[in-house]
Amino acid sequence: MSPRAEEIVGVPVSYFIGKTRLEVAGEIVMNDKWQAHFKDLEAHRSFRDFRFVRKGHDGRLHYVSTSGIPLFDDAGTFKGYAGASTNLTDRIEAEELAGLAREQLANAVNGLSELFVLWDSQDRLVVCNDQFRKLNQDVIETTKSGTLFEDHIRAVLDKDLFLLTDMDKNKWFEQRLENHRNPGQPFEIVRQDRRWLMAKEQKL
């Protein structure tokens, strides 16, 4: 076992020497995931990206991914496994923090009484609040994360949810895109149900 094992799993290499996989598992092994893993080992099958959590001697939880291949001699006798492990801890903790931040952002925007929607640099929807979704209930599929701004506006137009008076749909569409891409002063939008909205856009 390489010296980097301690860095990866937070446990000295000497702890592992002479122990079986079961003895060094580091977490409860009665679940289906571990039982399937032990069956692979008993059958001398390769395994890839088996993920588990163990507590290091520093008390920190380490998230580990490990892969292994069985080794056989020329006579076909099983000799053991050769494997490699990767420490996923920093990545997983970063993902958890990002998820918490997204949840906090969603809670914050849902607390607003005004409509709120955020588009990314590729003009894809990142987050919107319940007020925005309620207004666009007829095109609710375009209020999901990842929706292009153009697709959302086109869907609203196709459903005739805007009151355009005498303006051509294509002209209105191009004007709306221009207001979105080059935001300036607030502008008014009239819905088909006669609700007037004051829209304000800005680039971050």
Model confidence over 101-117: pLDDT tens digits? 878 877 888 888 888 99
Quote the tokens at residue 59: 């008390």
Q: What's the sign of the alpha-carbon dihedral 21, 26, 27, 28?
A: positive
Burial-class residue 156 by CB neighbours within 10 Å (0-12, 13-18, 19+): buried
d(Cα 1, Cα 68) in Å, to the nearest integer? 13
Q: Are strands 47-55 and 187-190 parallel, antiparallel or unpaired?
A: unpaired
Specify the pLDDT at position 40: 95
- Residue 44: predicted pLDDT: 96
Tokens of 162: 């805007």
Q: 175: pLDDT confidence band, cut at 50, 70 and 90?
A: confident
What's the pTM? 0.50
User: Could you give the 3-state DSSP secondary structure of residue 143?
Assistant: helix
Assign 153 a pLDDT band (cuts: 50, 70, 90). very high
Cα Dmax for the chain: 86
How many angstroms separate the Cα of 108 from the Cα of each of 112, 116, 140?
7, 10, 21
Average the pLDDT over each of 6-10, 28-32, 60-64, 93-97 and give the range with the smallest value. Answer: 6-10
| pLDDT confidence band for 3 (50 / 70 / 90) | confident
pLDDT score of 48 = 95
Rounded average pLDDT over 25-52: 89
Contact indicator for 180, 192 with CB cutoff of 8 Å = no
Does the pLDDT of residue 197 top 90, yes or no?
Answer: no
Average the pLDDT over 177-196 and give the result. Answer: 84
**What's the whole-number mean pLDDT along residues 63-69?**
93
Q: Give me the phi and psi of 160, to 5 degrees please.
A: 60, 45
Please say whether the beta carbons of 183 and 201 come within 8 A. yes
Alpha-carbon distance 37 to 46, whole Å? 10
pLDDT (average), residues 12-32: 83
